[in-house]
Structure 1
């Protein structure tokens, strides 16, 4: 845990057994501030999302790819005055920041780590909307953004929010009696909504369509050129992508790491068919989002490639990937 706003004692006190609405500190997520006269123009040529569609009332979900269309990161992007801010899992944000800084020397753009300015929280649960109101925000619809006293609330889906809060306010918030939850509670909900993020093991390994980003409005096919655009566009217009992300569930105490193999039964044999992207275990219920062949069906037997060979079952995606 690398954070200056959440103490070890506070982190240890967080529970995975909350019911109803909750707010979860997300110390593994971070932000990056992008300043300079060319910040929008620069990111427009670097990412899959269309910066021209960014307003004060929305945020963008996007990805940053290498020249071959493999992702360094996927992220959420918003404006703070003339600045831009990206929020993502720390592994992938660091990977993108390294690349952006390398090529940004040719543009009027600068980058600053956000960890000394902002903290990241997740809000969720069936009555999350009431908690949003209690925190002073107007309720944004999915894709929308609400602002309150310097904090940004992004509605990723119904009852599923990402909150970027000024650091001192976050420290104060952690001393209140709000219904705090462990990060894995929000991460399990993130998986259940069909969202994902890139941990170190999979950075540079997947194209955006493998994580269903075309179905999550995280790819603009009309904005023009950006790094990796040729590959991403070819997969849409000419086909060729044979993999997609799926939600899986199991009854187990296991928590497989990103990149763990998933095996498919073919006759009497088991063969590697996919891999874990993200996992969360809540009270011995394992939730996974995994990359698998896009012709897989719920009838196909799957298991973790582990000593226990845990059987996995499909959970329907909340959106269509066709």
Structure 2
């Protein structure tokens, strides 16, 4: 694993819940890992393992996808894109080893090489990010090559860069005095505000893709392509309505940031019962927290929530940045 991040002055930005975001931030994405796949059978092999229709993905686009086990439970949520001569994806570094081993289980029978990459992962975000990427890389698409790697647009004014250490040093030099350096918590906050799910090791094989809202986020799930691992469960959840959970944004005040795998309790009459699990969380310097948590999708309007480890805290659901109505 590269030690490049530890040699740079990335740090947590002091933010309150009402703080404006910096106009440009260069973010260490050391909480993510990059995997590359190359070879004649790469597309067909991954097509049979992941929920997205990878074969239909344009070279200038990226997509989220789930990698499921045979029962349709999600091993990992991936961001896939064309990279060099093959495909690459990013996911949480905490589960990368286990997920990669599972994904490669049957690759021995195909002409594809799937391996962890040593490239540096950086984020560029803020109101000046799109114009900066265009200036630095002459980007005309949402996925564009750099000198040594690839730049991937996540959403408006937020980009992920997968580059070698020399190019990472060059980017750092070019943006000196222009971009604030921030640790990965700023990227986590952006993912939270966009309600984009990221699984960590505490959440492996706990949820089907629809419980993570992947059916309504871009093209993360294809219901029209051929078979893939876990497809039967994913299809049954759609056509028979068996999914009873969804990911919701929660906010409130707490003494610590909600952590992946933490239990969220909900009120049932005068009692409290386990209601769901945290996917990711962030705590502002004024004590406000934001969390993405998987909860029942048939909640009463007056339901109350609290972290199981902070019984005096109260959390409330806030509106997602997208609709949970599946129009596919």
TM-score (norm 1): 0.91
SS at match of 2:88: strand
Given the superposition, is the C-alpha separation of residues 22 and 147 from structure 1 closer, same or farther in structure 2, using an over 3 Å criterion?
same
- Alignment correspondent of 1:47: 50
Matched residue, 2:61: 58
Match of 1:107 in 2: 110
1:4 corresponds to which residue?
3
1:200 alignment partner in structure 2: 201
Cα deviation for residue 139 of structure 1 reads: 5.8
d(CA) in 2 for partners of 1:47, 1:202? 18
Deviating more after overlay: 312-321 vs 129-138: 129-138
The 5 Å alignment of 1:164-313 reads 164-175=162-173, 176-177=176-177, 178-216=179-217, 217-283=219-285, 284-297=287-300, 299-313=302-316
- Alignment partners' CA distance in 2, 1:158 and 1:58: 14
Partner of 2:18: none
Contact 2:144 2:151 in 1 (8 A): yes
1:57 deviates by 0.9
Measure how far apart 1:193 and its partner are.
Answer: 0.3
**Cα deviation digits, residues 132-151 of structure 1 (max 9, x gap):** 334334364xxx32333233
Once the 2 structures are TM-superposed, how far is the Cα of residue 310 of structure 1 from its aligned partner? 1.6
What residue number does 1:29 align with? 32
Structure 2 unpaired stretches of 5+:
16-20
CA contact (8 A) 1:34 1:110 kept: yes
**Helix, strand or coil: the match of 2:151?**
strand
Structure-2 change in CA distance of 1:148 and 1:52 (3 Å): same
Q: State whether residues 250 and 287 of structure 1, in contact with CA within 8 Å, keep that contact through their aligned partners in structure 2.
A: yes
Deviation of the 1:308 alpha carbon: 4.9
TM-score normalised to structure 2 length: 0.89
Paired residues in the alignment total 315
1:70 equivalent in structure 2: 73
Match of 2:79, SS state, is strand
Classify 1:260/1:309 alpha carbon distance in 2 versus 1 (closer, same or farther; 3 Å): farther
Equivalent-residue separation in structure 2 for 1:298 and 1:139 (angstroms): 45
CA RMSD of aligned residues (A): 2.0
Q: In 1, Cα distance between the equivalents of 2:78 and 2:303?
A: 32
Tell me, which stretches of 5 or more residues in structure 1 are unaligned? none
Runs ≥4 residues deviating over 6 A: none
